[in-house]
């Protein structure tokens, strides 16, 4: 498989491992009661800070759990005048490049810079994605060819799903002199190879289901599809007669269904017969909805016309009453992508992540989708100064409702919590005593078990929990040295086949501990690094 080389690649290819782990500090929560300091327990998150560090901070809770990722990274067009900087010359990015790439950074082209910025972020996004998850990335001609190559490298070429061409504007601008550029790309990769992709029907497709029968109230209208196929393979069980008004009808080649299924459809009045000049046509009714009233899905195609960037601009102006963000993605575009069904799994309770949060369109789309009764969760990360004033503020207005008069939009309901990146867990080789012990406990548990942390209730205050019949203890106090001794062992009441205990020191020999099925791990020496 061809791979892409660029200046600085050697410095960033494993940089995601060197990113310091920072804890997330909740600043406030928002729900039907407005904004408040009390934790509302919301699983929806908006994080303010460098998305590289934020993605690392999410790993203990969310590695392998995210259903769908949508990102709209800088396109690297050279336009630095947006609220959302479209170039890689953001001071924060440049400072990071100087620290990570070093002297080589002086020779970087803008494409080199973009690739250095994207590669470690994509590595962490791949880690966060669930085994059945997918990632969508919006991009244009400036970086599409490079993006595809690094995605093949990180996700695997066999996990490429498709590249959608999205017509993003009505037509070329008035001052266009050459070929009018009216499209972008949406690239999709999966965590593991996929077998099938489906998507909601468009309004135009829905309108085709015009015919009605006595099932209309539940199943909606229907169209008819041929039951005879034009091709024939070696399946004699698909060649048999059907009967209508005493007439025996055979297919020219073969039916698409086996006999019992077709006969049952005839009995259910779901087959339409018609005759023309002695030639019979046999077609089945394809309903808009299934027997439970659930709308059928269609097949997405590689060219998507609209919704347009202008729609996204109008949307944000309606929400804020003025223009506060340039060229936000339209909500309906993101809703459409998040509604895709892969391998027949329609997850309405999944986690949806956008690490280039921008104006908050992805959160808006998730909340809107939840009007169907789902419980989808969103995580947004935004490093811009507007993370609270625009990104989070938009989500607040969507939850409460926005607009006036005929433009008024009913609130979706819902909630979220707003976070800042906090202290690093480790400073050099030492635990950072400024970090709350519970945050450290969560990290230790994840590194040992790769499971999300659920604090046990009661019992030993240093007990983390049990996993695979092993009990875990984190005997830590910021202001004093902890010693694993017989006095501490006397406090252990949980029954497990094995025990792992973290402490500053141990006064019991390794042989003695081994006899008791105990493994001692020294703080901070034996704390694994993400």
Cβ pair 474, 441 in contact under 8 A: yes
Instruction: Return the pLDDT at 327.
Output: 85
- The rounded Cα 306 to chain-centroid distance in angstroms is 22
Three-state secondary structure string covering 265-304: HHHCCCEEEEEECCEEEEEEEEECECCCCCECEECCCCEE
Query: For 115-158, how does the pLDDT look when each residue is reduced to its tens digit (9 = 90+)?
Result: 999 999 999 999 999 999 999 999 999 999 999 999 999 999 99
Q: What is the mean pLDDT of residues 309-335?
A: 93
81 pLDDT higher than 60: no
Q: Is the pLDDT of residue 469 over 60?
A: yes
CA angle 23, 27, 32 (to 5 degrees): 130
Q: Taking a C-beta distance cutoff of 8 angstroms, is the pair 131, 191 a contact?
A: yes
What is the CB-side half-sphere exposure of residue 219 using CA atoms within 13 A? 13
C-alpha distances (whole Å) from 156 to each of 25, 150, 152, 153, 354 are 35, 9, 5, 6, 21
Beta bridge partners of 322: none
Confidence of residue 86 (pLDDT cuts 50, 70, 90): low
Of 120, 80, 91, 29, give the one whose Cα is nearest residue 417: 29
What pLDDT is recorded for position 84? 47
Ranges of each domain in the chain: 9-201+296-421, 204-287, 431-522
Confidence category of residue 79, pLDDT binned at 50, 70, 90: low
Please write the tens of the pLDDT for every residue from 294-321: 999 999 999 999 999 999 999 999 999 9
Predicted model pTM: 0.89
> How does pLDDT run across 389-401, given as a tens digit for each residue?
999 999 999 999 9
Residue 211 has pLDDT above 50, yes or no: yes
pLDDT at 250: 94
Q: In Å, how far are 8, 88, 253, 498 from 93, measured between CA atoms?
A: 14, 6, 64, 46
pLDDT digits (tens, 9 = 90+) for 342-371: 998 888 999 999 999 999 999 999 999 999
Q: Strands 228-229, 426-427: parallel, antiparallel or unpaired by DSSP?
A: unpaired
Two tokens at 355?
Answer: 């690490």
Residue 332 in tokens: 């309906």
User: Cα–Cα distance between 320 and 277 in angstroms, integer?
Assistant: 64
Architecture of the domain whose range is 9-201+296-421: 3-Layer(aba) Sandwich (3.40)
Round to whole Å and give the CA distance between 388 and 250.
67
Distance CA(456)–CA(465), nearest Å, equals: 6
Q: How confident is the model at residue 87 (pLDDT cuts 50, 70, 90)?
A: low
DSSP string, 353-402: EESS-TTSHHHHHHHHHGGGS---EEEEEE-STTIIIIIIHHHHHHHHEE
Instruction: Report the C-alpha gap between 226 and 468 in whole angstroms.
Output: 54
Q: What contacts 165, CB < 8 A, 6 or more positions away?
A: 183, 184, 185, 302, 303, 304
The model's confidence at residue 83, banded by pLDDT at 50, 70 and 90, is: very low
More confidently predicted of 405 and 313: 313
Which pLDDT band holds residue 78 (cuts at 50, 70, 90)?
low
Please give the order of strands across the beta sheet that includes 271-276: 222-226, 279-287, 271-276
Closest CA to 196 of 286, 258, 134, 144: 134
The mean pLDDT value of the chain amounts to 92
Statement: residue 228 has pLDDT above 90:
yes
Tell me how far apart the alpha carbons of residues 237 and 528 are, in angstroms, rounded to a whole number: 60
Q: Are 412 and 30 in contact (CB under 8 A)?
A: no
Give the Cα separation of 55 and 124 in Å (integer): 6
418 secondary structure, DSSP code? E
Confidence of residue 406 (pLDDT cuts 50, 70, 90): confident
Concatenated DSSP letters for 125-136? HHHHEEEEEEEE
Which residue's structure tokens are 């023309």?
276
The pLDDT score that the predictor gives to residue 99 is 84
Task: Give how far Cα 329 sits from Cα of 68, 358, 417, 425, 445, Å.
Answer: 17, 9, 23, 36, 38
CA atoms of 429 and 439, how far apart (whole Å): 17
Reference 256, options 295, 282, 219; nearest CA is: 282
Q: Is 88 helix (H, G, I), strand (E, B) or coil?
A: coil
* Residue 241, both tokens: 């007669």
Give per-residue pLDDT as tens, 479-530.
899 999 999 999 998 889 999 999 999 999 999 999 999 999 999 999 988 8
With cut-offs at 50, 70 and 90, classify the pLDDT of residue 82.
very low
Q: Rounded CA gap, 403 and 394, in Å? A: 12
pLDDT band at 76 (very low <50, low <70, confident <90, very high): confident
d(Cα 491, Cα 384) in Å, to the nearest integer? 48
Q: Which helix (H) or strand (E) holds 62?
A: helix 51-62
Instruction: Please confirm whether the linkage preceding 475 is cis (ω < 30° from 0).
Output: no
pLDDT at 460 over 80: yes
Condensed to tens digits (0 to 9), the pLDDT of residues 257-278 reads: 999 999 999 999 999 999 998 8
């Amino acid at each position: 498989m061809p791979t892409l080389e660029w200046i600085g690649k050697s410095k960033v290819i494993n940089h995601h491992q060197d990113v310091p782990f920072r804890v997330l500090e909740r600043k406030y929560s928002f729900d039907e009661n407005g904004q408040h300091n009390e934790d509302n327990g919301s699983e929806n998150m908006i994080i303010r800070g460098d998305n590289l560090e934020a993605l690392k901070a999410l790993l203990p809770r969310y590695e392998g759990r995210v259903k769908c990722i949508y990102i709209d990274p800088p396109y690297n067009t050279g336009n630095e005048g947006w609220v959302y900087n479209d170039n890689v010359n953001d001071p924060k990015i440049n400072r990071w490049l100087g620290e990570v790439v070093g002297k080589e950074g002086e020779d970087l082209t803008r494409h080199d810079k973009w690739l250095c910025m994207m590669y470690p972020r994509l590595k962490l996004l791949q880690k966060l994605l669930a085994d059945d998850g997918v990632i969508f990335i919006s991009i244009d001609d400036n970086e599409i060819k490079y993006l595809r190559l690094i995605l093949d490298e990180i996700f695997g070429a066999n996990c490429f799903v498709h590249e959608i061409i999205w017509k993003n504007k009505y037509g070329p601008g008035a001052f266009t002199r050459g070929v009018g550029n009216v499209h972008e790309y949406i690239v999709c990769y999966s965590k593991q190879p996929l077998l099938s992709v489906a998507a909601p029907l468009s309004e135009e497709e829905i309108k085709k289901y015009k015919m009605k029968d006595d099932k209309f109230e539940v199943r909606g209208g229907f169209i008819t599809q041929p039951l005879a196929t034009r091709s024939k393979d070696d399946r004699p069980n698909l060649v048999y007669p059907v009967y209508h008004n005493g007439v025996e009808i055979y297919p020219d080649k073969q039916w698409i269904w086996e006999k019992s299924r077709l006969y049952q459809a005839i009995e259910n009045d779901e087959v339409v017969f018609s005759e023309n000049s002695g030639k019979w046509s046999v077609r089945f009714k394809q309903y808009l909805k299934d027997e439970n009233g659930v709308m059928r899905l269609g097949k997405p195609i590689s060219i998507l016309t609209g919704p347009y960037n202008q729609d996204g601009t109008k949307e944000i102006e309606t929400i804020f009453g003025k223009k506060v963000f340039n060229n936000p993605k339209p909500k309906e575009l993101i809703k459409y992508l998040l509604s895709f069904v892969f391998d027949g799994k329609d997850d309405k309770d999944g986690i949806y992540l956008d690490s280039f949060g921008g104006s908050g369109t992805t959160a808006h789309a998730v909340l809107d989708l939840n009007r169907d009764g789902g419980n989808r969760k969103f995580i947004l990360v935004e490093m811009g100064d507007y993370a609270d004033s625009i990104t989070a503020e938009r989500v607040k207005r969507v939850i409460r409702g926005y607009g006036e008069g005929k433009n008024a939009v009913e609130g979706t309901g819902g909630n979220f919590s707003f976070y800042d990146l906090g202290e690093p867990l480790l400073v050099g080789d030492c635990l950072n005593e400024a970090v709350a012990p519970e945050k450290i406990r969560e990290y230790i548990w994840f590194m040992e078990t790769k499971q999300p942390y659920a604090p046990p209730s009661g019992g030993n205050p240093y007990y983390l929990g049990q996993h695979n019949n092993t009990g875990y203890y984190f005997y830590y106090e910021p202001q004093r040295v902890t010693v694993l001794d017989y006095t501490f062992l006397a406090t252990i009441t949980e029954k497990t086949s094995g025990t792992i205990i973290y402490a500053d020191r141990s006064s019991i020999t390794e042989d003695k501990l081994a006899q008791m099925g105990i493994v001692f791990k020294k703080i901070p020496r034996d704390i694994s690094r993400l």
